[in-house]
Amino acid sequence: MAGNEISSEYVQETTEQHLITSFFGLLGTLLVIYLFVELIDDERFADVGLHLKNHIKGVLLGLTAGLFIIVVGYLTLHTLNQIEFAETIFMGDEFLMTVLLFIIVSLSEEIMFRGYVLRNLMGSMNKYVALFVSALFFALMHAANPNLSLIGNINLFLAGVLLGLPYIYTKNLMFPIAFHFSWNFFQSLFGFNVSGLDSYSLIEFNITQNTWINGGNFGFEGSVLAILFQIILIVALYVVFNNKKKEKLSIGI
């Protein structure tokens, strides 16, 4: 919760509202994209990248990468005295609803921005230009989020690049979905706001002062640490994919 004092009742109500809204948003996204893909593009809906077979490795890598970045980020900020641990609060119903919420959010946004927008842009322009444009759209979609800063905007754009980079090589959504879920879920669990939005946290901490180092009320995505970690992962993925491409191998993500 990043130092925001709010009651358990408020947290529960907000999580339920987000969960319900996101669920119907997912249904709407699936319906619209299904109609566009099947009727207008004359292709199969599954071709947006919803193939799990041979991509389990991508799911595990995505989940692990998201957890690793948030844990290292939390420990770094704590070491630098940017945040101060307050308490842990476990609420089973909130925990489960938060899991469901971020699964739904990751599915909805990845199917929309990577599975449809990026995929279609790649059909009409260079894949790296398409990646840049889709990442820009992704950042703009979050422009109305509370407490958004310049660093937050940069991080959202980089997130669009990071989530889209594996897709331009594999045409598969398993890594983007898994990483997106892990990134959001563990941010929330470790007490950060997620893109400026508050949600249930297992760990609560106090921010010593709002700075560009800790991200302030926008959360970890408002910090320079997030920029650093995302750039490192983007470069690592680019190197891995290009090496595998040269070797004509698939790493299954």
- pLDDT band at residue 253 using 50, 70 and 90 as cut-offs: low
Residue-wise pLDDT tens digits, 174-222 = 999 999 999 999 999 999 999 988 889 999 999 888 888 999 999 999 9
With respect to residue 252, please indicate whether it lies within any of the assigned structural domains: no
Residues with Cβ within 8 Å of residue 176, at least 6 apart in sequence: 62, 106, 110, 114, 163, 164, 166, 167
b/e 234-248 (16+ beta carbons within 10 angstroms → b)? beebeeebeeeeeee
With respect to residue 3, please indicate whether it lies within any of the assigned structural domains: no
With respect to residue 158, please indicate whether it lies within any of the assigned structural domains: yes
For 87-130, what is the HEC assignment? EECCCHHHHHHHHHHHHHHHHHHHHHHHHHHHHHHHCCCCHHHH
Give the count of domains, the chain.
1
With respect to residue 76, please indicate whether it lies within any of the assigned structural domains: yes
With respect to residue 1, please indicate whether it lies within any of the assigned structural domains: no
**pLDDT at residue 183, rounded to an integer:** 97
With respect to residue 2, please indicate whether it lies within any of the assigned structural domains: no
Range of the domain at 122: 8-246
With respect to residue 216, please indicate whether it lies within any of the assigned structural domains: yes
Residue-wise pLDDT tens digits, 98-142 = 999 999 999 999 999 999 999 999 999 999 999 999 999 999 999
**pLDDT at residue 5, rounded to an integer:** 39
